[in-house]
Amino acid sequence: MFSKISKSLAVVAVGTLALTACGGGNESEGGADNPLGLVNPGSLTVCSDIPYPPFEFEENGEYTGFDIDLVRAIAEGMELELAIEDVAFEPLQSGASFAANQCDIGASAITINEERQQNLTFSDPYYESLQSLLVPADSDIASIEDLAGKSVGTQQGTTGYTYTEENAPEGTEIVQFPGDAEMYAAIQAGSIDAILQDLPVNIGHTEDGAFTIAEEYPTDEQYGFAMSLEGSEELVAAINEQLAALREDGTYDEIYNTYFEEQ
């Protein structure tokens, strides 16, 4: 079980998984037999950049995490099978994964912002997060201003990268990585001095005491499930209907409390 994260540090706003590696979509079109236009009728195909705990990770041979458990519950409510595709974040957040009919929705801690809304349609928000700076426990970096002359890792195509680019002082070396796993390995190896990314993920890296959160950044970010910009109206409505039902019957809170501690 992934350890819980304090709600004081990560604020909430807002389901049995087959470990399936589906091939590309079959370009199904909406119609009487497939009104939602699913890439594989009868199945909700979800793209996610794994691992990114506590939102998506693999445990005992299954994909799980906050996002994954939510989409599992959504698929169950829609009486659909669930298939997960592990993809890179960049084509997912740019809309390329949907243009290629690879999946129906993206569930990967994706922040809703204006730039992405030019290429994607989002569900109602389901989570609010902060950005944060992770450093070694014995580091002299206490704030983003201390990054001058230092190197900081960020994930390509993320709001963490954007925040770093806009706020880090001159002289900061910003190193982009494809995912959290590569960033964390780099800071463990001493190749970079810090990591700037979503707070819940950085908190997970503090558990052994070797790293600490130097600073948090309230950025008013909200996560949403991403869908194709065109032709996804009915699917968006169905996802939002399921999200509302999960909130109403308490399932959302149960899933939330599995990963984030209420205080």
Q: pLDDT, tens digit, for every residue of 64-105? A: 999 999 999 999 999 999 999 999 999 999 999 999 999 999
Element (H, E) at 46: strand 43-48
pTM, full prediction: 0.80
Where does the chain hold its CATH 3.40.190.10 domain(s)? Answer: 43-126+224-261, 129-220
Helix axes 251-259, 233-248, angle to 10 degrees: 80
- Residue 242's nearest CA partner among 124, 130, 142 is 124
Give the model confidence (pLDDT) of 117-144 as tens digits: 999 999 999 999 899 999 999 999 999 9
Pick the CATH number of 129-220 from 3.30.930.10, 1.10.3720.10, 3.20.20.140, 3.40.190.10: 3.40.190.10
> What is the assigned CATH class of domain 43-126+224-261?
alpha beta
The residue count of the chain comes to 263
- Please name which of 220, 216, 247 lies closest in space to residue 126, comparing C-alpha atoms: 247
First to last CA, the chain: 19
Going by C-alpha positions, the residue among 37, 50, 36 that lies closest to residue 87 is 50
Assign 128 to helix, strand or coil: strand
Of 26-40, 111-125, 163-177, the poorest mean pLDDT is in 26-40
Output DSSP code: residue 52.
Answer: B
